[in-house]
Structure 1
Amino acid sequence: MSTLGIVLVALAIAVGLAGIVIPVLPGGLLVIASIGVWAYVEGSTTSWVTFGIAAAFYVLAEVIKYTWPVQRMRRAEVRTSVLVIGAVAGIVGFFVIPVIGLLIGFVAGVFAAEMALRRDPTRAWASTVHALKGVALSVGVELTGALLATVTWVVGVVISA
């Protein structure tokens, strides 16, 4: 692959990494797809092995991302229905107040749902904090997996050169 091609793949990976933290794009998916395009264009054994390792990091991170935070929230007695309400409120908030509305809407939605269920502001706020920690943990796990995939790709590019 040409230098320009590698720079474009690196740029797409960077956009994907940013998309994990700022949830506008499917970040992790963009990272792994970019590495897949690089492997396809390179067409070498090294590039496909690199893609395989990167994909394994991505899949592992996705599995952990959906299991670990859920276990923590179940222990904290945060219901799935409350998280769904928070997610919907976050999506609405994103369109009402671009970018930061996602966080504001999620927090408001979780808190309002917990207040409707428990009628205790202290408990509702504690559940909201647990939900936020779960989301942060999920983002951190996805970012770690994408960064490991990116490092794998960089090593593959260096070896292929």
Structure 2
Amino acid sequence: MGVWELLLVGLVILLGLCGVLVPGVPGSWLVWAAVLWWALQDPQPVAWWVLVGATVALLVSQAVRWVLPPRRLRVSGATRRMAVYAGAGAFLGFFLVPVLGAVPGFIGGIYLAERLRLGRPGAARASLRTAMRAGGTSVLAELFTCLLIMGAWLGAVLWG
């Protein structure tokens, strides 16, 4: 697979990651479709294993989303700015503290957005709790799964 094709797959994965944060956009399925496209174009065993792992991870993630409360973030006062901060925090955390850093990065991003918006630490913590109860855990589970898939794809491309 050529460099431009790999960059295009990576771009679709990044769009999928952004789509996870936007209600109504099938972000996780964009990530899966990009991995499928890559696996079909590069029929190496590692590509197929990444595709199988991505499929299983997304199916588990969808099951977890059904168990967690539905997304009601808009009603709770969540803003697009909060979603951007949460996504950026998860993305940075994923690479700063490999894999596990996505969770505190996501939570830290929401806290930072609310701290900047509200100005007081106590109000920001209360808003963080409200956002996580209203559906933030569902978004976090889906985003974390997509970040794992992206990491597996990136590892397979770089070292496979």
Which range, TM-score by smaller chain? Answer: 0.5 to 0.7
In the alignment, the residues of structure 2 paired with residue 134 and residue 55 of structure 1 have an alpha-carbon distance, to the nearest angstrom, of 27
Q: Deviations over 1:34-58 (max 9, x none)?
A: 0010001101111101111122221
What pairs with 1:18-57 in structure 2 (closer than 5 Å)? 18-57=18-57
| Corresponding residue pairs, total | 110
> Whose helix fraction is larger, Structure 1's or Structure 2's?
1
Distance 1:31 1:132, change over 3 A: same
Letter in 1 for 2:159: I
Contact residue 38 and residue 47 of structure 1 kept, 8 A = yes
Name the stretch that deviates more: 50-59 or 11-20: 50-59
Divergent runs of 4+, >3 A: 129-132
Instruction: Indicate the residue corresponding to 1:14 in structure 2.
Output: 14
Question: Any unmatched runs of 5+ in structure 1?
Answer: 71-82, 91-98, 101-128
Give yes or no for the alignment of 1:136 onto 2:132: no
In the alignment, the residues of structure 2 paired with residue 58 and residue 38 of structure 1 have an alpha-carbon distance, to the nearest angstrom, of 17
Question: Any unmatched runs of 5+ in structure 2?
Answer: 81-128
Q: Given the two structures, how large is their TM-score scaled by the length of structure 1?
A: 0.59
Task: Report the CA distance between 1:22 and its aligned residue.
Answer: 2.0
In the alignment, the residues of structure 1 paired with residue 66 and residue 24 of structure 2 have an alpha-carbon distance, to the nearest angstrom, of 19
Task: Report the CA distance between 1:19 and its aligned residue.
Answer: 0.5
Contact residue 54 and residue 153 of structure 1 kept, 8 A = no
In the alignment, the residues of structure 1 paired with residue 132 and residue 47 of structure 2 have an alpha-carbon distance, to the nearest angstrom, of 38
SS at match of 2:133: helix
Q: Deviations over 1:69-125 (max 9, x none)?
A: 36xxxxxxxxxxxx8xx79x97xxxxxxxx86xxxxxxxxxxxxxxxxxxxxxxxxx
RMSD: 2.7
In the alignment, the residues of structure 2 paired with residue 55 and residue 25 of structure 1 have an alpha-carbon distance, to the nearest angstrom, of 18
In the alignment, the residues of structure 2 paired with residue 24 and residue 63 of structure 1 have an alpha-carbon distance, to the nearest angstrom, of 17
Letter in 2 for 1:54: A
SS at match of 1:69: coil
